[in-house]
Protein backbone atom coordinates (compact mmCIF):
# COMPACT_ATOMS: atom_id res chain seq x y z
CA UNK A 1 0.00 0.00 0.00
CA UNK A 2 1.32 3.40 -0.84
CA UNK A 3 -0.36 6.46 0.58
CA UNK A 4 1.52 9.63 -0.15
CA UNK A 5 2.77 11.61 2.84
CA UNK A 6 2.68 14.76 0.73
CA UNK A 7 -1.08 15.09 1.09
CA UNK A 8 -0.81 15.00 4.91
CA UNK A 9 -3.12 12.00 5.05
CA UNK A 10 -0.65 9.84 6.92
CA UNK A 11 1.74 12.20 8.63
CA UNK A 12 0.99 14.13 11.79
CA UNK A 13 -0.72 11.66 14.05
CA UNK A 14 -1.80 8.18 14.85
CA UNK A 15 -4.71 6.20 13.43
CA UNK A 16 -6.71 5.02 16.43
CA UNK A 17 -9.69 3.35 14.75
CA UNK A 18 -10.60 1.53 11.57
CA UNK A 19 -14.20 1.73 10.36
CA UNK A 20 -15.30 -1.24 8.28
CA UNK A 21 -18.24 -1.63 5.95
CA UNK A 22 -19.35 -5.27 5.62
CA UNK A 23 -20.98 -6.24 2.32
CA UNK A 24 -18.43 -5.75 -0.44
CA UNK A 25 -15.60 -5.03 2.00
CA UNK A 26 -15.40 -7.78 4.62
CA UNK A 27 -17.36 -9.98 2.21
CA UNK A 28 -17.32 -10.25 -1.56
CA UNK A 29 -20.73 -8.57 -1.61
CA UNK A 30 -22.68 -11.70 -2.49
CA UNK A 31 -25.57 -12.68 -0.26
CA UNK A 32 -26.71 -16.28 -0.48
CA UNK A 33 -30.39 -16.90 0.29
CA UNK A 34 -31.65 -20.47 0.69
CA UNK A 35 -35.11 -21.85 -0.04
CA UNK A 36 -36.18 -21.30 3.55
CA UNK A 37 -34.90 -17.74 3.72
CA UNK A 38 -31.62 -18.58 5.43
CA UNK A 39 -28.91 -16.08 4.57
CA UNK A 40 -25.20 -16.79 4.24
CA UNK A 41 -22.19 -14.61 3.55
CA UNK A 42 -18.55 -15.56 3.02
CA UNK A 43 -15.76 -13.83 4.95
CA UNK A 44 -12.00 -13.91 4.26
CA UNK A 45 -10.25 -15.66 7.17
CA UNK A 46 -7.07 -13.60 6.79
CA UNK A 47 -9.01 -10.36 7.35
CA UNK A 48 -9.92 -11.58 10.85
CA UNK A 49 -6.29 -12.15 11.76
CA UNK A 50 -5.44 -8.63 10.60
CA UNK A 51 -8.26 -7.07 12.59
CA UNK A 52 -7.28 -9.01 15.73
CA UNK A 53 -3.74 -7.64 15.31
CA UNK A 54 -5.14 -4.12 15.20
CA UNK A 55 -6.95 -4.76 18.49
CA UNK A 56 -3.74 -6.09 20.07
CA UNK A 57 -2.01 -2.88 18.99
CA UNK A 58 -4.64 -0.52 20.35
CA UNK A 59 -6.48 0.30 17.12
CA UNK A 60 -10.25 0.06 17.56
CA UNK A 61 -12.16 -1.76 14.80
CA UNK A 62 -15.68 -0.45 14.22
CA UNK A 63 -18.31 -1.93 11.93
CA UNK A 64 -20.87 0.42 10.41
CA UNK A 65 -23.15 -1.38 7.97
CA UNK A 66 -26.44 -0.72 6.27
CA UNK A 67 -27.82 -4.22 6.81
CA UNK A 68 -28.99 -5.99 9.96
CA UNK A 69 -27.52 -9.48 10.22
CA UNK A 70 -26.90 -12.01 12.97
CA UNK A 71 -24.08 -13.32 10.76
CA UNK A 72 -22.26 -10.00 11.20
CA UNK A 73 -22.69 -10.16 14.99
CA UNK A 74 -21.13 -13.62 15.03
CA UNK A 75 -18.26 -12.67 12.75
CA UNK A 76 -17.59 -9.44 14.67
CA UNK A 77 -17.35 -11.41 17.90
CA UNK A 78 -14.85 -13.81 16.29
CA UNK A 79 -12.79 -10.81 15.16
CA UNK A 80 -12.83 -9.08 18.59
CA UNK A 81 -14.90 -6.18 17.24
CA UNK A 82 -16.92 -4.67 20.08
CA UNK A 83 -18.37 -1.69 18.23
CA UNK A 84 -20.93 -2.95 15.72
CA UNK A 85 -23.62 -0.69 14.26
CA UNK A 86 -26.08 -2.28 11.86
CA UNK A 87 -29.06 -1.09 9.85
CA UNK A 88 -27.41 2.33 9.54
CA UNK A 89 -28.86 4.50 6.78
CA UNK A 90 -26.68 7.57 7.41
CA UNK A 91 -23.13 6.36 7.96
CA UNK A 92 -21.78 9.91 8.20
CA UNK A 93 -23.99 10.76 11.19
CA UNK A 94 -23.25 7.42 12.84
CA UNK A 95 -19.51 7.96 12.34
CA UNK A 96 -19.71 11.35 14.06
CA UNK A 97 -21.75 9.86 16.91
CA UNK A 98 -19.34 6.93 17.40
CA UNK A 99 -16.18 9.02 17.29
CA UNK A 100 -17.68 11.41 19.86
CA UNK A 101 -18.64 8.49 22.12
CA UNK A 102 -15.11 7.05 21.88
CA UNK A 103 -13.40 10.42 22.29
CA UNK A 104 -11.75 10.23 18.87
CA UNK A 105 -11.30 12.84 16.18
CA UNK A 106 -12.04 12.12 12.54
CA UNK A 107 -8.35 12.72 11.89
CA UNK A 108 -7.65 9.50 13.81
CA UNK A 109 -9.94 7.34 11.66
CA UNK A 110 -9.32 5.12 8.64
CA UNK A 111 -12.38 3.90 6.73
CA UNK A 112 -12.74 1.10 4.20
CA UNK A 113 -15.91 1.01 2.12
CA UNK A 114 -17.03 0.07 -1.35
CA UNK A 115 -20.30 1.72 -2.34
CA UNK A 116 -22.05 5.07 -2.51
CA UNK A 117 -23.60 4.69 0.95
CA UNK A 118 -20.03 4.86 2.34
CA UNK A 119 -18.96 8.00 0.45
CA UNK A 120 -19.90 10.78 2.85
CA UNK A 121 -18.40 9.01 5.86
CA UNK A 122 -15.23 8.08 3.97
CA UNK A 123 -14.67 11.68 2.89
CA UNK A 124 -14.58 12.78 6.55
CA UNK A 125 -11.83 10.38 7.62
CA UNK A 126 -8.08 10.78 7.58
CA UNK A 127 -7.58 7.73 5.36
CA UNK A 128 -10.20 6.40 2.93
CA UNK A 129 -9.55 3.03 1.30
CA UNK A 130 -11.65 0.81 -0.92
CA UNK A 131 -11.38 -2.69 -2.40
CA UNK A 132 -10.31 -3.10 -6.01
CA UNK A 133 -13.87 -3.93 -7.04
CA UNK A 134 -15.49 -0.91 -5.35
CA UNK A 135 -17.86 1.36 -7.23
CA UNK A 136 -16.22 4.04 -9.39
CA UNK A 137 -17.35 6.98 -7.27
CA UNK A 138 -15.77 5.39 -4.21
CA UNK A 139 -12.50 4.76 -6.03
CA UNK A 140 -12.42 8.42 -7.05
CA UNK A 141 -12.46 9.71 -3.46
CA UNK A 142 -10.27 6.99 -1.96
CA UNK A 143 -6.71 7.67 -0.91
CA UNK A 144 -5.89 4.11 -1.89
CA UNK A 145 -7.58 1.40 -3.93
CA UNK A 146 -6.57 -2.03 -2.63
CA UNK A 147 -5.01 -4.52 -4.97
CA UNK A 148 -7.57 -7.01 -3.61
CA UNK A 149 -11.32 -7.29 -4.04
CA UNK A 150 -13.69 -7.02 -1.12
CA UNK A 151 -13.88 -10.27 0.81
CA UNK A 152 -10.56 -11.34 -0.72
CA UNK A 153 -7.94 -9.57 1.38
CA UNK A 154 -8.58 -5.84 1.00
CA UNK A 155 -9.21 -5.45 4.73
CA UNK A 156 -6.10 -7.46 5.63
CA UNK A 157 -3.98 -5.31 3.33
CA UNK A 158 -5.21 -2.17 5.10
CA UNK A 159 -4.67 -3.71 8.55
CA UNK A 160 -1.06 -4.53 7.69
CA UNK A 161 -0.52 -0.98 6.46
CA UNK A 162 -1.98 0.53 9.62
CA UNK A 163 0.20 -1.72 11.78
CA UNK A 164 3.30 -0.51 9.90
CA UNK A 165 2.31 3.08 10.70
CA UNK A 166 2.43 2.18 14.39
CA UNK A 167 6.09 1.14 14.27
- Residue 65 is assigned to a structural domain of this protein: yes
Tally of domains within the chain: 1
- Residue 49 is assigned to a structural domain of this protein: yes
Structural domain including 39 reads 13-166
Residue 13 has pLDDT above 70, yes or no: no
Question: What residues contact residue 21 under an 8 Å CB cut-off, 6+ apart?
Answer: 63, 64, 65, 91, 112, 113, 114, 115, 118
Between CA 79 and CA 89 the distance in angstroms is 24
Tens digits of residue pLDDT in 83-93: 999 999 999 99
Beta bridge partners of 53: none
CA 156 to centroid of chain Cα atoms? 10
- Residue 137 is assigned to a structural domain of this protein: yes
Angle between helical axes of 154-166 and 45-56 (0-180°, round to 10): 20
- Residue 67 is assigned to a structural domain of this protein: yes
- Residue 162 is assigned to a structural domain of this protein: yes
Q: Give the per-residue pLDDT at 20.
A: 98
Q: Give the per-residue pLDDT at 9.
A: 53
Q: Give the per-residue pLDDT at 7.
A: 46
- How many residues are given for the chain? 167
Give pTM, 2 decimals.
0.91
- Residue 86 is assigned to a structural domain of this protein: yes
The CATH number covering residue 64 comes to 3.40.50.1000
Question: What DSSP line would sit under the chain, residue for residue?
Answer: ----GGGTSSSSS---EEEE--TTTTB-S--EE-TTS-EE--B-HHHHHHHHHHHHTTPEEEEE-SS--HHHHHHHHHTT--EEE-S-S-HHHHHHHHHHHHT--GGGEEEE--SGGGHHHHHHSSEEEE-TTS-HHHHHH-SEE-SS-TTTTHHHHHHHHHHHHH-
- Residue 30 is assigned to a structural domain of this protein: yes
Q: Give the per-residue pLDDT at 38.
A: 87
- Residue 3 is assigned to a structural domain of this protein: no
Amino acid sequence: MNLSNSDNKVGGGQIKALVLDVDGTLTDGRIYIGNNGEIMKAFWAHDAVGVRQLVKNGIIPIIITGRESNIVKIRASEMNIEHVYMNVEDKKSKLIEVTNELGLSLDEIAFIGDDINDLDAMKMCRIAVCPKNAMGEVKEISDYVSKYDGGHGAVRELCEYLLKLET
